Amino acid sequence: MLRLISTKILELYSKQAPATGIGLFRLFYGLITFQEIIFLLYFNHLIFDPIPYIDVEFPMIPFFLCLWGIIAGFLIVGYRYQFAVISNYIFWIIFVNFTSMQRDFDGGFDTFMIGAGFFLLFMPGDRAFSIDSLRYKLSTPFTHYSNYPKPTVSALAYYLPVAICLGFLYFDSAVHKLFAEHWRNGLGTWLPATQPYYVSAIDMSYLLNNKLLQNTIGYIILIFQFTFIFFFAKRQLRIAYLLVGLGLHLGITLSFNIYPFGLGMVCFYTLMIPFKWWRCIGRLVTSKQPSLTVFYDQLCPLCNRTVLILNHFDIFSCIDFKSAQEHAARYPALAAINSETLLTDLYALDSTGHIYSGIDTYSRIFIKMRYLFPVGIILGLPGIHQLALKKYRSIADMRQRISCSSACLAPQALPDTSLYHLLFEDVASKKPNAFSRKLSKILIAIFLLQLNSTIHYGLIYRLDFAAKKSSVGVPIAEASNALLNVSLTFLGITPHALYLHDHFAGYDHILAITYTDSNGNEHWLPFVNEQGRLLAPNWGRVHSMWANIAVTPNINNKRLHKFIMKVTAFWAQKTGLNIENVVFNIKLKKISAPSYWVYDQLHLNFTSPWTTIGTAKWRDNRISFDLPDNINEL
């Protein structure tokens, strides 16, 4: 097995692929992280305060979230990439393991983001769509951009993260699904989509009411997840797995209120897109002929850096930059311009033969870049044009020029210090066989850690070895659990037994909160609405807190009281309520979560009536409850 894996690694290592997919993966991962940080900032007091706005235990949380947001910004634009991915990985681990995020507000994708962040440490995410690639070019400003080859990476950087982060996840999830009756009945996606707590604002009932369609989707997902790890790399099947996977996770994003999980999975599919598609897309979106030719002073460091920056952002290749000293004489339209005058400004020539200079050249460049068209128009507006011209003139007239000999002594390019370069290009190129053997052993170790998680929760947990006091079972369970703590914390390896029968069995009631004001009028808290849906922005990890921890098939009153306290205190402050002057009403609605198909089950659950089962009151920053001792029996 070791030899087989080692041979496959060598084969993939020698295969070069465009860096486009990995650059987009880094960008999307950064965007998802950034939106989650914004979410955490908005719900900061609900998630981290013992009593929202009243007992603030971690006043520095917003500061560290802002620092994390800056790191996520670096990740999005690809600036200081290695520093950014290491810092981001540490932030995920700290916030998940040392705050209430994991205990009470598990987002359902935190461990997945840790695992993806771990692989980003070793991926060349700075080779495409990054500021770092521009910084590399700017370190040798007198090298024309056309002399830099298209960035490529080893195909290993694509296949390894997909195999481990998606392949292992899917197989683990499929094993757990076999224990769920509704999944065996082909209703794996139908059942959670009929539960008010779990659905988004989009009404999918026209799809849910088609039994054949739901059975087809359910069984396709089971087959897809069981076989993905074995066949996703097959060239003939790759597109099929790409389309099914995208459909699955886009469906989760649109139909459920756990959109961060759906988006996190979708971003991985940038690594599944066939390599030749990136080349074809590149040929389709780039201009066949440049629509503007710009002439610059080859001996001006500022001009050379400006050209490199503008070309870096010219993603459609609409602009052609040429040295005025070498190429201007070939264009008759520029013959009337004195050679000395030609070097004082940036001159541009469009396809109609029109000549532009100075700030007008910049305006025309932005317009021709297509996506920066508004910037070019704004730059030409009266007032703004005059101010820009004044600033441009002050910079252009003060710029320094150098001699040709100095240009030839250009500085060395910035060294590549990324872990990908050091391990996969430097070390691996010297000893490829030794490298493949070591990497094979690491992959087998990760596989064993994932296998331990699958067996632990799929067999040991379900068969309850520890409870049976077996002389063999108890040590096995304890050893397995110790390994789980390590793999969960640093690699994000966790069971993916989501929305199974043990989650929905007995889930026949849901709760909501209203309040009665001083005039006796009852209002719904902007949390759970009359249908029983959790309203935006109470999705993601806030949904998980209420639907998976506070309200369960067997409600624990202590936990329920805690989260009613947190929700009422938080939303009272957000909506400007004086909690001392209102009474919060706890309402219960009976619903159904059958493991067999029922026509229009979603609307049946939506229209089920509410009954008030108790109240909660705040006095002197303390909350008191008047609730039944056993809500489960109502």
Helices 432-455 and 473-491: crossing angle in degrees, nearest 10, is 120
Question: Residue 408: what pLDDT?
Answer: 54
CA-CA distance, 348 to 341, in Å (whole number)?
13
Question: Residue 272: what pLDDT?
Answer: 95
Question: Residue 403: what pLDDT?
Answer: 65
Reference 325, options 309, 310, 344, 342; nearest CA is: 342
Residues ≥6 apart with Cβ < 8 Å to 140: 410, 411, 412, 413
Task: Tally the residues of the chain.
Answer: 634
* Domains identified in the chain and CATH numbers: 2-275+421-487 (no CATH), 287-408 (3.40.30), 505-633 (no CATH)
Question: Residue 270: what pLDDT?
Answer: 95
Instruction: Write out the two tokens for 295.
Output: 């002439």
CA-CA distance, 329 to 337, in Å (whole number)?
10
CA-CA distance, 184 to 219, in Å (whole number)?
8
The answer to whether the CB of 200 falls within 8 A of the CB of 257 is yes
CA-CA distance, 134 to 413, in Å (whole number)?
11
Question: Residue 469: what pLDDT?
Answer: 52
Query: b vs e for 226-264, b when ≥16 Cβ sit within 10 Å of the residue's Cβ?
Result: bbbbeebbeeeeeeebbebbeebbebbbebbbbbbbbbb
Pick out the chain residues at pLDDT < 50.
Answer: 466-467
Question: Residue 108: what pLDDT?
Answer: 73
- Helix (H) / strand (E) containing 7: helix 2-14
Instruction: Write out the two tokens for 416.
Output: 């590549």
Question: Residue 461: what pLDDT?
Answer: 62
CA-CA distance, 359 to 396, in Å (whole number)?
10
Each residue's pLDDT tens digit, 123-149:
999 999 999 999 999 888 888 888 888
Question: Residue 467: what pLDDT?
Answer: 47
If you count DSSP H runs as helices and E runs as strands, how many of each does the chain have, helices first?
Answer: 32, 11
Question: Residue 466: what pLDDT?
Answer: 47
Instruction: Write out the two tokens for 142.
Output: 């007198």
